């Protein structure tokens, strides 16, 4: 009922929030075709591992397009945008369909 007060981007954001909030991979929302050409990526992968029962995170792969010489495989990631990586992972999980603590 609020859609008339929203611009296009706000409407799409609301739709994404509704479907992601269900946390069910069987209910997805696909953005309209105009959005398919727009994307961003990070030039690396991060993977979790366990050491002495503690979860930790390492850069596992780096794109050839990476421009930061300090960003190489096996660098441990402890923070993301100023917050502890554990908190960042939990926040990200809450924005992904089907994510849960398991």
Tell me the pLDDT band of 97, cut-offs 50, 70 and 90.
low
This prediction's pTM: 0.64
For 63-98, the DSSP string reads: -TT---TT--TTPBP-EETTEEHHHHHHHHHTTSTT
Q: 22 and 97 in contact (C-beta within 8 Å)?
A: yes
Tell me how far CA of residue 65 lies from CA of 10, 42, 45, 71, in angstroms: 32, 10, 13, 11
Q: What is the pLDDT of residues 12-59, one digit of tens each?
A: 989 988 887 787 778 888 889 988 887 788 899 999 999 999 999 999
In terms of pLDDT, which residue wins out, 7 or 91?
A: 7
**How far is Cα 36 from Cα 50, in angstroms, rounded to an integer?**
36
Average pLDDT, the chain: 87
């Amino acid at each position: 009922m609020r859609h008339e007060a929203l611009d296009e981007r706000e409407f799409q954001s609301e739709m994404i929030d509704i479907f992601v909030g269900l946390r069910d991979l069987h209910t997805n929302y696909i953005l309209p075709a105009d959005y398919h050409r727009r994307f961003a990526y990070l030039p690396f992968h991060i993977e979790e591992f366990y050491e002495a029962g503690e979860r930790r995170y390492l850069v596992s792969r780096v794109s050839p397009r990476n421009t930061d010489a300090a960003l190489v495989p096996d660098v441990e990631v402890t923070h993301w945008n100023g917050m502890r990586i554990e908190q960042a992972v939990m926040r990200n999980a809450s924005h992904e369909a089907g994510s849960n603590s398991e």
